[in-house]
Amino acid sequence: MLDLKYLFAHRELVAAQLLARKQSIDLSELFALDAQRKSVQHSGDALRNQQNQASQVIAERKRTKEDASDLLAAMKNIAAQIKQSELDCAQIEFQLTQLALGLPNLLDDSVPRGATADDNRLMRTHGTPRTFDFPIRDHVDLGDSLGLLDFERAGKMSGARFVIYRGAGARLERALINFMLDLQTREHGYTEFQPPLLVNAAAMTGTGQLPKFEEDLFKTTNGWYLIPTAEVPLTNMHAGEILSADQLPMRAAAYTPCFRSEAGSYGKDTRGLIRQHQFNKVELVSLAHPDHSFEELERMTGCAETILQRLELPYRVVQLCSGDIGFSAAKTYDLEVWLPGQNAYREISSCSNCTDFQARRANIRFRDAEKKVRFVHTLNGSGLAVGRTLVAILENYQQADGSITIPAALQPYFDHTAQIAP
């Protein structure tokens, strides 16, 4: 959530940021409520001043044994007005907070301005897409012919956008999870967690999924939500806490299934594993000192890149423009892996610095060297989306005979098998 004091002091800047994000949000109601709040607070202060003055006069009359019944009656009326003023102020504060929860984070100055993904900034590429001397097949055809993926039987049980991993397909998915977790925990210093898959509304609000994106979530009948990413529980582990500066950065990693309704993606990526209601992901989260959070973003992005480098998959890094960046993010890098079956780069990881936006919502703070209590900066990134990594391996490592070569880095996690054969 944005700092309301900052927002009201920098109205034009916030309006310009919303315009850059292509957000049609009218701030006039927010500003009107702020003016109303100030008016109510001013009236309340005046009433409290009257109350204090009357109290002094009553005390003096009691001392001199004069009648104070008229003032006592007036005091009751003033007290009632003060109580109503406080209730009115609390209601306005609630309305302000609800409106503020719908506002996105402020963008870092380095974010390129643009409307769509076409305006994202290419930062670097790694590896060269393979040249094939036989017809390229996509992961759906490969998964079907090798008996790795079963969309039809998953559809009978669950509907569209679900899959059953079978045999070597299930083993490959599990091998990728273990490989990713081992690399991030053993080499990059992340602590592994196994968080809950169900969280309450407060946790979803803390990381920015609620209230704006409720239609993208799966909600149970008793009010819990299935997590769309492990970012939610990993970030909210420290909600309401005050950490010490020497605990930062705190780096967490977790494998979890993720659940998304994909409400706004009708007709998009209906074939295969790219956009599923349930998918596996290894998530990275950092709680960082505000002075070093952008350094932490560069580090986190590098940690995610290492997975693709070890698997020898071609990819590129792009910085998202203002019109393509996520709601909670101040700056984001996407890793896009090359998929021969689509003849395109597709997102496989998104690494974001959310600055103090989530920390304000979840009230995650730290005490700095001067003993001042400040909000931490939160960061999150995919390290990586497991299903999409499996897609990249099937398509990039396919052979003319229909087999799949297992990347060398993954073979120790696959019983040292070098190939998935037809």
Q: What DSSP element (H or E) covers 78?
A: helix 69-100
What is the four-CA torsion angle of 109, 234, 381, 130, rounded to 10 degrees? 180
Catalytic machinery residues: 260, 275, 347, 350, 388
pLDDT digits (tens, 9 = 90+) for 58-71: 777 777 777 777 77
Tally of CB atoms within 10 A around 93: 14
DSSP 3-state of 177: helix
**Nearest-angstrom CA–CA distance, 10 and 354:** 19
Q: What DSSP element (H or E) covers 250?
A: strand 250-259
Structure pTM?
A: 0.93
Instruction: Please tell me the predicted confidence (pLDDT) of residue 378.
Output: 98
What average pLDDT does the chain have?
Answer: 94
Class of domain 117-420: alpha beta
pLDDT digits (tens, 9 = 90+) for 142-163: 999 999 999 999 999 999 999 9
Residue 189's region, left for phi above 0, alpha for psi from -120 to 50, else beta, is left
Copy the structure tokens of residue 206: 């803390």
| The residue count for the chain | 422
47-56, 217-226, 354-363: lowest mean pLDDT where?
A: 47-56
Average pLDDT of the residues in 25-41: 93
Q: Where in the chain is the domain with CATH 1.10.287.40?
A: 4-100
**Nearest-angstrom CA–CA distance, 227 and 283:** 12
| Cβ-proximal residues to 285 (8 Å cutoff; 6+ apart), any chain | 230, 231, 234, 235, 251, 252, 253, 254, 378, 379, 380
pLDDT digits (tens, 9 = 90+) for 245-283: 999 999 999 999 999 998 766 667 778 999 999 999 999
Q: In Å, how far are 82, 242, 348 from 246, measured between CA atoms?
A: 45, 12, 32
Instruction: Please tell me the predicted confidence (pLDDT) of residue 45.
Output: 87
Indicate if the pLDDT at residue 10 is higher than 70. yes
For the chain, give me the number of helices (H) and strands (E)? 12, 18
**Nearest-angstrom CA–CA distance, 210 and 199:** 12
Closest by CA to 184, choosing from 310, 334, 313, is 310
C-beta separation of 149 from 169 below 8 A: yes
Q: At what angle do helices 69-100 and 28-63 cross, to 10 degrees?
A: 160
SS3 content of the chain, % helix, strand, coil (to 5): 45, 20, 35
Name which residue leads in pLDDT, 99 or 63: 99
Residue 170 gets which letter from DSSP? Answer: H
**Nearest-angstrom CA–CA distance, 366 and 363:** 10
Structure confidence at residue 318 as a pLDDT band (50, 70, 90):
very high
Superfamily of domain 4-100: Serine-tRNA synthetase, tRNA binding domain (1.10.287.40)
Instruction: Please tell me the predicted confidence (pLDDT) of residue 265.
Output: 65
Indicate if the pLDDT at residue 55 is higher than 90. no
DSSP states along 398-422: B-TTS-EEPPGGGGGGTTT--EE--
**Nearest-angstrom CA–CA distance, 238 and 321:** 30
Q: Where in the chain is the domain with CATH 3.30.930.10?
A: 117-420
Q: What percent of the chain is predicted at pLDDT more than 70?
A: 99
Instruction: Please tell me the predicted confidence (pLDDT) of residue 268.
Output: 78
